[in-house]
Amino acid sequence: MLCVPIDHGVTNANIVNLANFKALSESLVSNGATALIVHKGMVRFLPNLRQTGLIVHISVSTEKQQEVNKKVACDVLEAVQLGADAISIHVNIGNKYEQEMLVDLGFISSECQKYGMPLLVMVYIRNEENIDISTPAYTKHAIRIVTELGADIKNCF
């Protein structure tokens, strides 16, 4: 699977110029991407989705506020209605917002099971200052946490 996240415009608007978003996504699809990860509002700018998978990323924060505190901004039913093939959520472990994000993950996991949607969890090990605090043991624990809460696909940073 070559899954390309192009959902970082919420976090940092300088990453993908909105004027070039459609051209970028068309290029990714024509060059073999098997799935694109986008936020719900960007689905309308994607090329023909029959050529590639659609993964709707449902959690958000910006670098201008508290990037380690991700909030859910789209529910699973809305993503299904947009044509999603899977759901993606970002969870940060190791900071004071961890518990809220884990509760959200548990709820989203249940919703994904209800609709038969695979769940990709991007789990980061970060403190309040957004500093990577990962160790091999912490990474292993983070993967265990999201697996036990229902992740089908895990990506640990």
pLDDT at position 66, please? 64
Q: Which whole number is the average pLDDT over 20-38?
A: 89
CB neighbourhood size of 57 (10 A): 26
For the cut 80, the answer to whether the pLDDT of residue 10 exceeds it is: no
Which residues are within 8 A (CB) of 144 and not within 5 positions of it... i.e. 6 or more apart?
Answer: none
pLDDT at position 133, please? 82
For the cut 90, the answer to whether the pLDDT of residue 149 exceeds it is: yes
CA Rg value for the chain: 15
pLDDT at position 91, please? 95
Least-confidence region, from 5-14, 27-36, 38-47, 127-136: 5-14
pLDDT at position 118, please? 97
Return the bridge partners of 131, or none. Answer: none
**Percentage of the chain with pLDDT > 90?**
56
> How would you list the strands of the sheet with 53-57, edge to edge?
3-5, 35-38, 53-57, 86-93, 119-125, 153-156
Phi, psi of 92 (to 5 degrees): -105, 130
Choosing among 3.30.1390.20, 3.40.50.300, 1.10.10.60, 3.20.20.70, the CATH entry for 3-156 is 3.20.20.70
For 69-123, the pLDDT digits (tens) are: 999 999 999 999 999 999 999 999 999 999 999 999 999 999 999 999 999 999 9
- What torsion, rounded to 10 degrees, do the Cα atoms 93, 126, 58, 51 define? -110
For the cut 60, the answer to whether the pLDDT of residue 16 exceeds it is: no
- pLDDT confidence bin for 144, thresholds 50/70/90: very high
